[in-house]
Amino acid sequence: MALVLKCGRDERAEWRSELHRLLPDMEVRPWHQAGDPDDIEFALVWKPDAGELRRFANLRAIFSLGAGVDHIMNDPDLPPGVPVVRLIDPELTRQMSEYVVLSALYLHRRMPAYAAAQKDGRWRPLPAPDTRSASVGIMGLGVLGSDAAEKLRPFGLPLLGWSRRPKNIEGVRCFHGAPGLAPFLAETGILVCLLALTPETKGILNAKTFASLPRGAGVINCARGGHLVDEDLIEALDSGHLSGAVLDVFDPEPLPEDHPFWRHPQITLTPHVASLTLVHSAAIIIAENIRRMRKGEAPLAIADPKAGY
């Protein structure tokens, strides 16, 4: 039996060598040289082509190469009954928390305004940032959102969080569900999006959400581009209601060259690098899940097909 791998060309050799080291009896086949589809027991994928996974009649699990599984779940022809397995990797979590702390402090310390002043050659000190009132609200309190909250705690900024189900996290005022959204937004000064992308959360960063934030709020999107309504963000920034945004993810990616985000003075953007899968670390987690399945145990971190993440 074999594993089929769909990853970036640059990482293919590393994945194959790590998986060979950890699972010496597993044959690893590249996506376009999968051979006899009936040999394929496991798929390890990033953005598989829609309908393609269904070719593998003996597939036992689909492993995501990233933390999000939307790139798999959005296939309307997904093989039924085959578990989709999320990647929960401490290295991914660490990187994301670094990005969130960096971006939240960047907005809190008004770095976009200082960058603009520097560009104009202007010496323009702003009032001291008041940490007591500069709250950070995290949408999505899953693996990444809850760790980001924990890493932000030592800075003393009031923390809020919003999720689908109720949560109890030390030092975080937790809200949940549709009724919890408005009170959460009303007290959020810096909004961080770390939600899973599902039909319910698509476009959630929109004009109504921005209008519910206090004037001068900032927005950080490091989940998926599909959460954000691009025009609504530009309008909220241009009207002065929002003061700045840090964006790591876009729809589509790469962000088209002529997209207004590139040159907007209040937007800082990065090319989907907030947290990158590190092969040496992720391969250990995937190999361990395959070993579990071979022993007849369920893999860890199966996505819930009903919830979609």
Indicate which of ligand OXD, ligand NDP, none lies near residue 142 (CB less than 5 to 8 Å, by partner kind): ligand NDP
Per CB under 6 A, does 309 bind ligand NDP? yes
145 binds ligand OXD (CB under 6 A): no
Output 163 or 243, the one with its CB closest to ligand NDP: 163
Which of 61-69, 177-185, 253-261, 295-303 is the region at the interface with ligand OXD (rule: CB under 6 A)? 61-69
Catalytic residues, by residue number, are: 224, 272
Contact 205, 251 (CB under 8 A): no
The nearest distance, CB 165 to ligand NDP, in angstroms, is: 3
Task: Select from 34, 59, 67, 185 the one that contacts ligand NDP (CB under 6 A).
Answer: 67
- DSSP structure string for the chain: -EEEEE--HHHHHHHHHHHHHH-TT-EEEEGGG--SGGGEEEEEESSPPTT-GGG-TT--EEEESSS--HHHHT-TTPPTTPPEE----HHHHHHHHHHHHHHHHHHHTTHHHHHHHHHTT-----PPP-TTT--EEEE--SHHHHHHHHHHGGGT--EEEEESS---BTTEEEEEHHHHHHHHHHT-SEEEE-PPP-TTTTT-BSHHHHHHSPTTEEEEE-S-GGGB-HHHHHHHHHTTSEEEEEE---SSSSPPTT-GGGG-TTEEE-SS-SS---HHHHHHHHHHHHHHHHTTPPPSSB--TTTT-
**189 makes contact with ligand OXD (CB under 6 A):** no
CB of residue 79 to ligand NDP, shortest distance in Å: 21
Examine residue 68 and tell whether it contacts ligand NDP (CB under 6 A).
yes
Nearer to ligand NDP (CB atom), residue 40 or residue 174: 174
Q: Which residue in 2, 5, 19, 67 binds ligand OXD (CB under 6 A)?
A: 67
Nearer to ligand NDP, 142 or 189 (CB): 142
145 touching ligand NDP, by CB under 6 A: yes
Residue 211 Cβ vs ligand OXD, minimum distance, rounded to whole Å: 28
Task: Indicate whether 82 belongs to the interface with ligand NDP (CB under 6 A).
Answer: no
CA distance 254 to 199: 22
Using rule CB under 6 A, residue 249 touches ligand NDP: yes
Q: Applying CB under 6 A, which residues contact ligand OXD?
A: 66-68, 277
Q: Applying CB under 6 A, which residues contact ligand NDP?
A: 66-68, 92, 96, 140-145, 163-165, 194-198, 200-201, 222-224, 248-249, 272, 274-275, 309
